[in-house]
Structure 1
Amino acid sequence: MALLEFFRPKKQASASLAKERLQIIVAERRSAGSPGPSYLPQLKQDILEVIRKYVDIAPEQVSVALEQRDDDLSVLELNVTLPDDK
């Protein structure tokens, strides 16, 4: 059985897959020389949809910001206000 598992692709966790996709988006935007993060609204919506699978939250409870510190350094800040567990 172990031989068959060697040839099957392994499933990635959703968090690592999301991280890879985000890295690709950021790298693509940097290489295109885009000065502004025009993808942030869609990124916020995608993140909100994923969080809503687990917790009922409003769009106002999620904030996404991209900070350019240097030419080669960008910081993506994500703040989510989770409701109290009742």
Structure 2
Amino acid sequence: MGIIDYFIKKKQPSSASVAKERLQIVVAHERNHRNQPDYLPLMQQEIIEVIRKYIEIDQDQVSVQLDDNDDCSVLELNVTLPDR
């Protein structure tokens, strides 16, 4: 089988298709942030600063998400705390 595998070339994804996938991810990420209020990034920074007064965390350990329902908005805050 080794010799046959040598002659059968597996298709590598083209650089255009890889670039297209990456662009789709970037566009989806930007659309998600476009719907968020302007104050959300600043609020996230301030929340991180308050948490850091009590425990050392990295910025990537905190996620803030705003979900809009029909009649209310829900602010979701997830913090991954380090083990003691």
TM over 0.5: yes
Aligned twin of 1:57: 57
Deviation at 1:38, TM superposition (A): 1.1
Aligned to 1:75: 74
Distance 2:77 2:36 in 1: 17
Paired residues in the alignment total 50
Counterparts of 1:36 and 1:63, CA distance in 2: 13
TM-score by length of structure 1 reads 0.55
Q: What letter is aligned with 1:55?
A: I
User: How do residues 28-39 of structure 1 correspond to structure 2 at under 5 angstroms?
Assistant: 36-39=36-39
Measured in 2, the distance between the counterparts of 1:82 and 1:38 equals: 27
Q: 1:36: how far off?
A: 3.7
Question: Do the aligned partners of 2:36 and 2:66 also contact (CA within 8 Å) in 1?
Answer: no
Q: Aligned to 1:79, what secondary structure does the other structure show?
A: strand
1:7 alignment counterpart: none
Q: Which amino acid aligns with 2:73?
A: S
> Percent identity, aligned pairs only?
62
Secondary structure of 1:60's match?
Answer: helix
- Over alpha carbons, which structure has the higher Rg? 2
Q: Which ranges in structure 1 are unaligned for 5 or more consecutive residues?
A: 1-34
If the length of structure 2 is used for normalisation, what is the TM-score? 0.56
